[in-house]
Amino acid sequence: MQRAVSIALAIVVLSLLLSPLQRELFVGDETKYSQVVREMRAGPFPQSFLVPTLEREPFTHKPPLHFWLVASLTSIFGTYSIWPFVWPSLIAFALLLALMLRAWGPVAGPMSAFVCGTSLLLWGSSQTARMDVAFTGLIALAAFLIFRARGALTVGAGVAAGLAFLFKGPMAPVIVLALFVFESIRRRRKPAGRDALALLPMLLLPLVWLLPAVLIGGEAFWREIFYKQTVGRAVNAWVHKSPPWFYLVRSPATLAPWFFVTVAALFAAYRKRSSGEETGDGDRAKFAVSWMLAVLVPYTLLSSKLDVYMIAMLPAVALLIGSFAESEDAWGRRAALVTLALFALIGIAGLVVQPEQIKGEDGALVALPAIRGLFAVMLAAAIAGIVVALRARLTMALLAVGLVPVIVLSYAMTVLMPLANEMASNRPLVRALVKENVPPEQIALYVCPHLWTRGMPPALALAKHYDADGLRAASPPSLIVARRRNAHEIGDVLAGYRKVGELRMIGKWFDVYRR
C-alpha cells in the first residue's frame, strides 16, 4: 500500500511540470507581479527592493520576499521566461509535501501528503506566480512545531510565522496564534512564559524589512501599509465584500476533490478513534480540526474574502483525511464513491451538452474535439476509479479520488494550453501592439492588463498605463488600447482617433485606436 501511495505522489509532482512548458502568465495577479518585478530590477538598489512599485507607485498589497526571489531568478532565466515566476511555488509545493510526508508519521504522513498535493486549489496555485503556496508551507511548518511541542508556541513556529508574513502579510501570525489558542483550549493547557518568546521572531522578522522600507517610502507609504492594507482590509468592505458564511458555502469547491471525504473524516474524528491514531494530546485528527479553525475563523471575520485564502487550510484538511485513511470507515468509502460518481456525471454532461445550450460567447468551445476529449478522459478515469473504490481498501479509493482530477488536468495542460493562452494571457494584446508597429513610448493602455508573454519584445514594457485624468494631461499618444466597457470614460480623448482593431482577453473586449 505504501508503494502505491509513493507512486501516486510521484505522479502528482511530475504533473506540475506540464503547464510551465507551454503556458504564459495569465492576466490578473500574474501579469501585475511581472510588472512589479520589472520595476524592481530597473530601479535603484536597494530602494526598489525595499519599496516595490507598480507603475512607479509603491506596491503595498504584498510584502516583498516573493518578489525578491522572482527578481533574483530572472537574473538566471531572464525576465520573459516562465520559470523565474513559477519556481518559488513549485519548490514550496515540493517542500510542503516533504513536510507532510515526514512530519505526521509512517501511516498518516504519506496519505496526508497525497491529499495535500491533490487538493486542486493548492495543486493549481503551485504552478502560478503567486506566493500562496510558500505562505501555506510555512504555516504548515509552524503548525507541526506546535503539535510536536504539545500545544506550546515555539520559537521555531514564530520564525516560520515571521517568514510567512514576509511572503503574504500579517495573517500569518494571526493564524499561528489562533492555532495556539485553539490548541490551548482543546488541551486545557495554560500558556507559559516561554510561549511569549515566539512573538519576537514574529515581530522582528517583518520589521527587518518594514523599518527601512518606511524610512525610504515615508509617511505616505506607512499610511498605505498600515491603514489601508492592514486595518482597512480587516474592518472595511472596500473589496471582496462577502457574508460570514462565504467559505462554508464555497467549501465544496475550495476543498475539491476532498469535500465529501472531509465531511466523513470530521464525523469520524469525534465519533470514534481512528485506527492507528494517537490518543489524548497526540490526537492528529483533532489537532487538524484546530488548525482548520485557525484559518477559517480569522478569514471569516475579515470583510475581504477570496477562495484562495483557504489554501492555508488545505494541509490541515489533508492531515485530517490522512489520519482517517486507515480506518476502513464505511462512510469514507461512500464519500469517495460519491465524489467519483460526480466526476463521471460531469464527464457525461460534457460529452452530451450542445453549444446552443450554453449561454455566452464561449459556448462553441464545447464542440471542439479537444474539449470533448477532456470530458471523455474524465469519464473514463472516473469509471476506473469507481471500480477501484468498490473492490479495494479505503486507501486505494482515496488514491482514485485524488488521481482522477490530476489525470484530467494533466490532459488539459498538455492539449488545451494553447487555447488557454489565447483566452487568459495577453498574447492577443501583445500581438495587436506588434502589428501596429508604433514606438512603445507612444502607446497608451487604458484599463488594460500589464504586458508579459514569452518572447515579447522587451521594449513593449515601455508602453504606459494611464487613468483618465493622466491620459487627458499627457501628450496625445499615437496608439490607445482601451477596454471597450470603459472606453466612454475617455470619449473626449478618443474623438481624435480611429478604431483600427479589436481583441478579446479573459472574456472581455478591448479596442485599438490610432491617431
How far apart CA 450 and CA 20 sit, in angstroms, is 20
In a domain, 135, yes or no: yes
Instruction: State the pLDDT at residue 155.
Output: 96
Instruction: State the pLDDT at residue 231.
Output: 54
**302 and 169 together in one domain:** yes
Contact 240, 306 (CB under 8 A): yes
**367 and 397 together in one domain:** yes
**32 and 156 together in one domain:** yes
**Strand partners for 464:** 444
**61 and 44 together in one domain:** yes
CA-based nearest residue to 25, from 37, 8, 15: 37
**303 and 399 together in one domain:** no
In a domain, 336, yes or no: no
pLDDT of residue 282 exceeding 80: no
**194 and 244 together in one domain:** yes
In a domain, 130, yes or no: yes
Hey, CA dihedral for 361, 363, 366, 368, is it positive or negative? negative
The residue that leads in pLDDT, 65 or 240, is 65
Instruction: State the pLDDT at residue 227.
Output: 63
In this prediction the pTM is 0.92
**319 and 371 together in one domain:** no
In a domain, 341, yes or no: no
Number of domains in the chain: 3
pLDDT digits (tens, 9 = 90+) for 497-513: 999 999 999 889 999 99
pLDDT digits (tens, 9 = 90+) for 65-77: 999 999 999 999 9
Of the candidates 393, 424, 455, which is a domain's last residue? 424
Which grid coordinates belong to 408? Answer: 484530467
Instruction: State the pLDDT at residue 234.
Output: 56
**284 and 411 together in one domain:** no
Which grid coordinates belong to 301? Answer: 471575520
Instruction: State the pLDDT at residue 305.
Output: 87
**404 and 435 together in one domain:** no
Task: Tell the residue number behind the cell numbers 481512528, with chain if given.
Answer: 274
Mean pLDDT of 2-13: 92
Instruction: State the pLDDT at residue 280.
Output: 38
In a domain, 507, yes or no: yes
How far apart CA 270 and CA 433 sit, in angstroms, is 60
Q: Identify the DSSP state of 477.
A: P
**297 and 320 together in one domain:** yes
pLDDT digits (tens, 9 = 90+) for 182-220: 999 999 988 888 899 999 999 999 999 999 999 998 877
In a domain, 20, yes or no: no
**Strand partners for 444:** 464, 480
How far apart CA 494 and CA 515 sit, in angstroms, is 9
Kind and range of the H or E run holding 455: none
Phi, psi of 454 (to 5 degrees): -60, 135
Instruction: State the pLDDT at residue 505.
Output: 92
Instruction: State the pLDDT at residue 229.
Output: 62
Of the candidates 296, 327, 358, which is a domain's last residue? 327
**402 and 435 together in one domain:** no
Which domain covers residue 419, as residue numbers? 347-424
**408 and 434 together in one domain:** no
pLDDT, averaged across the chain: 91
Instruction: State the pLDDT at residue 279.
Output: 47
How far apart CA 450 and CA 37 sit, in angstroms, is 12
In a domain, 203, yes or no: yes
Instruction: State the pLDDT at residue 233.
Output: 56
Of the candidates 424, 442, 470, which is a domain's last residue? 424
Instruction: State the pLDDT at residue 232.
Output: 54
In a domain, 300, yes or no: yes
